[in-house]
Structure 1
């Protein structure tokens, strides 16, 4: 049996053998049961909201091996990606008691694995041709957006000059490092705005900004609305569409 878990908001932790990973909104994992792992609620987290599904069959392990190869051990998946939308659908169907026998459950599991594999294939098609330093840079931005200081910090972590990274990153992603980092931070901020009662100052801190005023300025430049007005007028389905010109 395997457990797939997807974090909706807050923060959790998972230990897999001798490696420990932080789990934030948009991040997933899959583990085999039994295996040497444990996931838990860390003391410095105020909440952890997630969805999970238990999966059976050898094909699950094969699929996850491909996912890890293309997306990493703790992949980041957008909340409106088809595989996550399908996971929500499964939850709703179970809540309404519409999945009532093993045949329905098996079909649902197969469809979920298919969607997960498709997500990995899309990711592979998009980034498979990128240079290693660019792929590493994107992974670091998506996982360490809270603490990254900018282009020079990122270049040091992927062991290339900032000029080389800036040129290759823009060439292959169509955007600059700073623009991509800002996009990720604002996406994370949108999720926090809609899924928590944090103040603007707290959200700014959680996504990597030193003060709420600067964060509000950046947010309004990208979104067209202040964080407060966005929370009142939009919902999560719009998050990806905000950045369609830079994707």
Structure 2
């Protein structure tokens, strides 16, 4: 018998597919809880509940210190209207396209404060060690509020979970955990991509381009910092803050990445490749290559050459 393909195995549907031809009154909303009996495996992340709701009553209010769901982590994304979040000493108005993340218990309160338009949102509650780590990582980088385009893979991912739930495809903790982990990775990727790339100063970007363009040269920290028009000390400090590695570590990553391509796609000798990516000789190149990837350049070429790969993805 041919097995039906679940939506988890396909690309998540666009959020627009849930909105086309619908109005506020006829969208397929609802909320669902997950209470699986199988506890034989300690899941790294799993679903507690998910929902798509429309609130028009000011009675809607959740206080993070008065709830029973200890250890749960909430992601809630505004689709239309506005809501309010108070957390610690800060107050936020939640507009369309904004999400908040909070944990239970914590000093927060979110609610509908009234107005002419109801607050429409989709929410997800997770639990587990990896979810806790992710929430900590995200709040340190962005705080509790995220601005997320409605057509982003992250929002498509949460709607995919909702759709799978409505279709009654989420029948066990294993599938629920797989969906949760996929959402969590999209959340981390979104956070990383939107807190690093857009804020890198122009002079740091200029230095990165310089390294990429002159990879075959014997570049020094002095050469690279000069290109950025910053002092060597200040350049190193800012580069590490923005890119999370030192300039010379980043240069090494670029060299190793290009060398993996040359090893797989050309017949050049290891010594020729070493020179082309900026190393003085093959011996030193081999030493750095093995430290980075765990195998020598020769072993890498031998082990991977028959796998028809064009590139190796590295950090």
Higher helix share: 1
| Rg comparison, structure with higher value | 2
TM-score w.r.t. structure 1 length?
0.50
TM-score w.r.t. structure 2 length?
0.39
